[in-house]
Amino acid sequence: MTPPPNFIREIIEGDLKEGKNEGRVHTRFPPEPNGYLHIGHAKSICLNFGLAAEYGGLYNLRFDDTNPSKEDVEYVDSIMEDVRWLGFDWEDRLFYASDYFEKLYEYAVQLIKKSKAYVCDLSADEIREYRGTLTQPGQNSPYRERSVEENLDMFERMRQGEFPDGSRTLRAKVDMASPNLNMRDPVMYRILRASHHRTGDKWCVYATYDWAHGQSDSIEGITHSICTLEFEDHRPLYDWFIDQLGIFHSQQIEFARLNLSYTIMSKRKLLGLVQEGHVGGWDDPRMPTISGLRRRGYTPESIRDFCERIGVAKRESTVDIALLEHCLREDLNKRAPRVMVVLRPLRLVIDNYPEDQVEELDAVNNPEDSSMGTRKVPFSRVLYIEKDDFREDPPKKWFRLAPGREVRLKHAYYVTCTDVVKDEKTGEVVELHCAYDPESRGGWTKDDRKVRGTLHWVSAAHSFPVEARLYDHLFTKEDPDDVKEGMDFKSNLNPRSLETLASCQAEPSLKDAEPGSRFQFMRQGYFCVDTVDSTPDALVFNRTATLRDTWAKIEKALQESEK
RNA sequence: UGGGGUGUAGCCAAGCGGUAAGGCAGCGGCCUUUGGAGCCGCCAUUCGGAGGUUCGAAUCCUCCCGCCCCAGCCA
């Protein structure tokens, strides 16, 4: 399969044709360790690493750790775990911008010597005032024309910790009248006494993104530095620094970040959900984080497939989350073994089935893949079926169970409903009585009689209780940020994003299911054993995705036509 | 009102002067021991709008309109 064309591939192929960079393709994924990776990062990882792999190049993992006040090792660990899980191996090419702090400092000295950088004593507020506005040019800082000697001395003293936090900065001397605000003497270093997760207290001056990023790319010999659209305005500065220094020139290319319907992708907002307890953590199965998706039961293959299918372009867009779910189902359909689990049990007694008899019936593990074999499922007189599979007063087109109706029990027999037992007080149906056809063993008869409905079931005496967690979109709105005045995205949180069913009944083969293992609960959806809360004695399953539910559509259409 | 981007179907997205790929969603049908899966078919006479160039324009030119990003010592 040849990957779909996109503008970045076009650029790379053009470069290759021209023999640029000696034919090398070298990319990097540069996360800041200030949060967990999400599906949007997966797009970037697949793009960066996928492209390098495709053109026989290399890719680096580089932590952009230039702001110690927001960063933490917890995040670097999770990021490495997530990237590996997605299926990418950076081999020995793990780097940190902090690896280059000394080099960056030397580069800064070079710029000072070229009179292209200066120490500025303006406060943050003053810098803002001097910067001008979108329509008005800025004014030069009064410190702009300090001598090289004084700048060298002051910069050295900044590093030595002689000045308080925020009191001075090192700025690039570019152009205060530039229509591009990024060129109005951007800050390269700020004084910040914060302990860095790797360099500890060695430094009290830290490079800004603009100063660190391009030079890090250059040091690593990155040929194509792929980033998101909001950095487009920074490209002239990216190029300016590299040109002033006369070092290897990486090419920055920008693409549109991923947005997903019913989802937020902002790390800041995601952090808020975690901190305020709206979700259980970064790895809550409702989160769009890689760790959340993993715990939910997503496969790395399905995520990579998704990232390929959404394409790469420069126009801002929001991908329908149904596409992600589709990729997941397509993958799991082929690999997930089928099992029978009754989510909301309803007792069903087969009156004409011998009291003590138990049959071990053959069940196919995956109709899509016969190599996955078969298993035995016990059948007996008392079963559980799904509450939703019985209607006392069935609507049109209903071909599940109802009084007098015959259905097939998957892998087993045909049964006909003969009696309904209700709770005297509530009127709730509590038990069904059926008669089975002994000639229908395996689920078919010689007379080829049509039985349209097929239900899943478990034997009451052989099944065991499990918990199922049914997840739905975290937000009720396609665009969670679409809110009324004064409200924020949290007002769109879906109160029903998690439904816990504590007394489901599972077939015995599930007893030894390992944490993380995935199944299709027949006619219900894909589920996986939770890796955090599940124990061998009390299994917890997360619903990864529902199956397509044609009946739900039919019923909805039926109800609407009656109105 | 400065600068940088960007407009192709409900949602993504190909297209690069020769007459609108593909996927998702949706809708019909077939098939089915999962109302699952699979299979078949339908779904843009038109590309943000208006002019122009050309035998021929989504592709080139002009003007207009919409949307996104930028005034952190965040990334």
pLDDT for the residue numbered A486? 83
What burial class does residue A295 get, using C-beta atoms within 10 Å of its C-beta: 0-12 exposed, 13-18 middle, 19+ buried?
buried
Chain centroid to CA A349: 44
pLDDT in tens, A47-98: 999 999 999 999 999 999 999 999 999 999 999 999 999 999 999 999 999 9
Q: Which nucleotide minimizes the distance between its C1' and the CA of A268?
A: B74
Q: How far is the CA of A48 from the C1' of B42 (A)?
A: 38
Given a cut of 70, is residue A136 above it in pLDDT? yes
Q: Which residue is nearest to nucleotide B6 (CA to C1')?
A: A315
Q: Bigger pLDDT: A128 or A3?
A: A128
Please answer whether residues A443 and A413 qualify as being in contact, where contact means their C-beta atoms are separated by less than 8 angstroms: yes
What percent of chain A is modeled with pLDDT above 90? 97
CA of A330 to C1' of B2 (A): 49
pLDDT tier, A563 (very low <50, low <70, confident <90, very high otherwise): low
What Å value separates CA A179 and C1' B3? 5
pLDDT one-digit tens code per residue, A546-562 = 999 999 999 999 888 77
CA distance A545 to A455: 20
The tens digit of pLDDT for each residue in A147-170 reads: 999 999 999 999 999 999 999 999
Non-local (6+) Cβ contacts of A275 within 8 A are none
Nucleotide nearest A314 (Cα, C1') = B6
Instruction: Determine the nucleotide nearest to A320 by Cα–C1' distance.
Output: B11
| Contact of A339 with A521, CB cutoff 8 Å | yes
- What's this model's pTM, rounded to 2 decimal places? 0.96
The protein footprint on chain B, as nucleotides within 7 A of a CB, is 1-8, 10-16, 21-28, 33-38, 67-75
Average pLDDT over residues A362-370: 97
pLDDT in tens, A258-286: 999 999 999 999 999 999 999 999 999 99
The pair of three-digit structure tokens given for residue A269, joined into one six-digit string: 């907002």
Return the SS3 of A562. helix
- Position A158 scores a pLDDT of 98
Our measurement of CA A512 to C1' B4, in angstroms, reads 58
pLDDT of residue A332: 98
* Model pLDDT for residues A26-61, shown as the tens digit of each residue: 999 999 999 999 999 999 999 999 999 999 999 999
Q: pLDDT value at position A1?
A: 58
- Cβ neighbours of A505 (radius 10 Å): 22
Residue numbers of A annotated as active site: 32, 257, 267
Per-residue pLDDT tens over the stretch A408-466: 999 999 999 999 999 999 999 999 999 999 999 999 999 989 999 999 999 999 999 99
- pLDDT for A484 equals 86
Task: Give distance CA A178 / C1' B3 (Å).
Answer: 9
Q: ∠ at Cα A397 (A395, A403), nearest 5°?
A: 55
Give me the CA A313–C1' B48 separation in Å, rounded: 18
> How long is the CA A231 to C1' B18 vector, in angstroms?
38
| Res A2 pLDDT > 90 | no
> Residue A561 has what pLDDT?
79
What is the per-residue pLDDT for A183?
A: 98
SS (H, E, C) A401-429: ECCCCEEEECCCCEEEEEEEEECCCCCCE
Nucleotide nearest to A259 (CA to C1'): B12
Average pLDDT, chain A: 97
A322: which nucleotide lies closest, measuring CA to C1'?
Answer: B24
pLDDT digits (tens, 9 = 90+) for A172-196: 999 999 999 999 999 999 999 999 9
Please name the nucleotide lying closest to A333, CA to C1'.
B37
Distance A24 CA to B61 C1' (A): 38
Using CA atoms, how far apart are residues A516 and A425, in angstroms rounded to an integer? 42
Question: How much of chain A is in helix, strand and coil states, percent to nearest 5?
Answer: 35, 25, 40
